[in-house]
Amino acid sequence: MSKLLVTRAGAVTTITFNQPDRKNAVDYEMTLAMKSAVEAAAADDSRVVVITGAGADFCSGADLKSVTQISDVTGYLRTVTNPTILAMRSMPKPVIAKVRGVAVGLGCNYALACDLRIASTDARFGQIFARIGLMPDGGSTYFLPRMTGYARAFEWMLTADLYDARRCFDMGIVNRVVDPSGLDAAVDELAHRLAEGPALAYANIKRALNAGDAGTLADSLDREAVGQKQCIESADFREGVQAFLEKRKAKFR
């Protein structure tokens, strides 16, 4: 049985952590497979990527036995984990985390690296690294302060507490919280809605938001000017205007 599943439904690619009996803990083999799957999804013709876990949980983080067997942790993070996170953020399409159960450690940070997080009410998130004498990795020291502010991010990482989905929603970490029975339908509806949207516009929005974290207002304004020219020259823009004038739903290609 594969520890990581990649499936396709229409224009939506779904990547699933598949060790439900271990709360989808990721070992060395799984992180390599995750890197390959994310890079492939970034390059294929899908329009939306969903990342989730099999069974009752999203991902309980790194398998500790596997971690302790890695002789060069810095090299491993630089060549496996970090390129995966960067690929998730740089791919020109929305990435949605569908979270139920636990999303802790690296599992939490895979979710943070997604563009959107939809969680069930039974979801629990945790920066639990300090419990075993580690610091967070997987990009959380970058993502969390931008979502919650420095003080909340710092407190969470030091206390290593588990936060429920409602608290994460209130902190700006989670986009939506839904009943567990409705999680699949909520993510499917959003993913397919986005898959029918203007892909070039979405790509430029994502690129501009990511770059805006590190630049000035002037940089952001210039990126918007360049990106908007691409959008206005696209078939999507022509279709959007025509659909608006004809009072119908646009069919973006």
Same topology, domains 4-195 and 199-245? Answer is no
Alpha-carbon 171 to chain mean position: 17
| CATH 3.90.226.10 for the 4-195 domain, yes or no | yes
pTM for this model (two decimals): 0.92
Residue 213, pLDDT score: 76
Domain coordinates of the chain in residue numbers? 4-195, 199-245
Residue 31, pLDDT score: 95
Amino acid code (one letter) for 56: A
Phi, psi of 217 (to 5 degrees): -60, -40
Reference 209, options 57, 56, 92, 118; nearest CA is: 92
**What is the rounded CA–CA span in Å between residue 169 and residue 180?**
15
Residue 151, pLDDT score: 97
- Looking at 33-37, 73-77, 161-165, which range is the least confident one? 73-77
Average pLDDT over residues 131-140: 93
With bands split at pLDDT 50, 70 and 90, how would you rate the model's confidence at 4?
A: very high
In percent, the amount of the chain with pLDDT more than 90 equals: 79
246: pLDDT strictly greater than 80 = yes
Alpha-carbon 46 to chain mean position: 15
User: The dihedral of CA 19, 22, 24, 25: what is its sign?
Assistant: negative
Beta strands in 74-173 (DSSP E): 95-99, 102-104, 116-120, 124-126, 162-164
With bands split at pLDDT 50, 70 and 90, how would you rate the model's confidence at 149?
A: very high
| CATH 1.10.10 for the 199-245 domain, yes or no | no
